[in-house]
A and B are shown apart, each in its own frame.
Chain A
């Protein structure tokens, strides 16, 4: 069975992705990144991502092109993570952000910039990213979900609304509040930048 192409129940999603493997190949890192942002780099993030794709596979026949495939996957991921939060009855504290960023960790890849050649600049950048990640994690989950989807995953207001199942006006309001909170939390670093 190894290497065999999986045949999903109906081909609705597969008009753009010929196989389920193709779907996974295209979206696995995006969904994993999204889950990491929401869960503060939980050790379970990869398991949660796997669960997202399993649910997607199971409900492929239910998918219709009302939304884009990525929006659909983000929605499954959002529901899954929020369900997990509810079970935990609190925002997850699995891994402190200060310990979650490890330069030796292959899953944490710094962007390819000229700063990579300068160890001091790289260290400063990594430190800044730690603070940003910490600030994101401090947001209430509803604000965090919206700001991550819009500002980090690049979804439009309408796509975010579909992914989190709320009106566009609510998305804009949450985004405004999330950015306001992030501005306050990161003010020191932004003053340093400017």
Chain B
């Protein structure tokens, strides 16, 4: 076994949770690896330090205060009880589906809010396009009229333009 694997086993070894084979593997490795042996010593020291930390004690008034608070608190209803039981049993397993559901809801809300705006923008663009086409048609008609006037004697021929078709009419 390499050092990385042994270092993880050392923690189980220190906790007394390593199997016989694991303990043997650790012992054999430590006999020839000073770094891991040092790691074992340090791990034991850390565990020892943590275990030797002093206990904390609540104040003398804790219990009286708690009981006064509890007396003002109604026990949970049966409905809350089954929910609490469910939550305690499955809480961590429900996190992923809960996140997926929350994400889907968020996406739905975004779509609901954004979709009308997109439609509105499309309508504006279509209107602008129609306006551009109309202006282009008017300009073209104007040019045709100017061209027709330049080719005929204005005293003899009167020309007009049919705005609906864009054609030049002469009399």
Q: Are A172 and B11 in contact, with the CB atoms below 8 A?
A: yes
The complex places the Cα of A49 from the Cα of B55 at a distance, in Å, of 15
* A107 interfacial contact with B, CB 8 Å: yes
A64-B85, A151-B47, A193-B45 known; A28 and B73 CB under 8 Å?
Answer: no
* B116 interfacial contact with A, CB 8 Å: no
Interface size for B (C-beta < 8 A) is 45
Q: Are A62 and B54 in contact, with the CB atoms below 8 A?
A: no
* B21 interfacial contact with A, CB 8 Å: no
A25-B63, A29-B58, A54-B66 known; A9 and B75 CB under 8 Å?
Answer: yes
Enumerate chain B residues within 8 angstroms of A58, measured Cβ to Cβ. Answer: 73, 75-76, 80
Interface size for A (C-beta < 8 A) is 60
Enumerate chain B residues within 8 angstroms of A54, measured Cβ to Cβ. Answer: 66, 69-70, 73
A176 to chain B, nearest CB (A): 5
The complex places the Cα of A72 from the Cα of B70 at a distance, in Å, of 18
The complex places the Cα of A6 from the Cα of B47 at a distance, in Å, of 40
* B112 interfacial contact with A, CB 8 Å: no
Provide 21 A-B residue pairs closer than 8 Å at the C-beta atoms, listed in order of the A residue: A6-B71, A21-B67, A25-B63, A28-B58, A32-B57, A46-B62, A49-B58, A53-B70, A54-B66, A62-B76, A62-B84, A63-B85, A66-B89, A107-B56, A110-B54, A136-B50, A179-B43, A179-B47, A186-B46, A187-B42, A189-B49
Chain A residues with CB under 8 Å of chain B are 1, 6, 8-9, 20-21, 24-25, 28-29, 32-33, 36, 45-46, 49-50, 53-54, 57-64, 66, 72, 75, 106-111, 128-129, 132-133, 136, 147, 150-152, 157, 165-166, 172, 175-176, 179, 182-183, 186-187, 189-190, 193-194
